[in-house]
Structure 1
Amino acid sequence: MIKQGSLERSLGYNLKRTQHRLRRRMDEALKSCGLSTAQNAVLAALMAQPDMTNADLANAAFITPQSMQSVLAGLETAGYVVRRQDDHHKRRQLARLTPSGEELALQGRAAIVQVEEALAKALAPLSEDEALALLYRLQKALD
């Protein structure tokens, strides 16, 4: 019998466990592309919205702005990302994908398809829309 108040009955603990397993599976899937999960998050974010700042990308990848600086520098050195000074805010730099960065972003997306499919399959009897609505409610409750 599971005791009331045990970790197995904790929503927060189980969300974190799920997130940890998701991260491990994504890391494994992205190895074939030579990407980390943070790098893939940057590429995906820039594919969806070019000209993002370091802070915006750090938020999208769930890492600190300091860590993002090193992720971006690596992607820039490899030729996947270019940065330019923001015309309106001279202290900010805006990042965007190069053509080879766009190709790598698509490879990263393809690499995690099976992970996403495993999640979608595990949702039954909920639909993806219902599961997303539940996740959004949980996120809003924590804001």
Structure 2
Amino acid sequence: MKSLESAIKESTVSGLKFEGLHFEFNDQSDHMAYYDQILKKNQQERRPLQGMYPMDVQELFQKEIFIPKLELQYLVPNDQNNLPDEAYMNDLETLIKEFLNKKPLPNGLYAVEIAQYKEDKLVRKGVYYVRMNNHQVVEFLKDLS
């Protein structure tokens, strides 16, 4: 997790600020049976945290069970305060792509939570899901279903 966070920490995109990194549990993954199998085995062996430890986070990331969630803050430039929602969303997707495409991130699925601020006031918060391949955003998903 530390190497992932250090790869993301430095923002070179104007208006976007990295706030933190967490993991999100994806119960919609096609590999939930695999997760359940590990959990059951660990519970039978009386492993810590009700069987949730140890688990290979890298493997669970590759199977899209654990998804890194990047928290970003977006300060809307004054000249864009009155953009219509569609224009704002297009602009934001472009900024997210620009931000992530410059990072040496492993292939996989990521959640990107954006907190939008206008003049220090939080006006909107939402989550995008993006699929990365060869250090490029290749797909935006509205949700995981």
Classify the TM-score, shorter chain. under 0.3
Give the TM-score taking structure 1 as reference length: 0.25
The structure with more strand, counted as a fraction of residues:
2
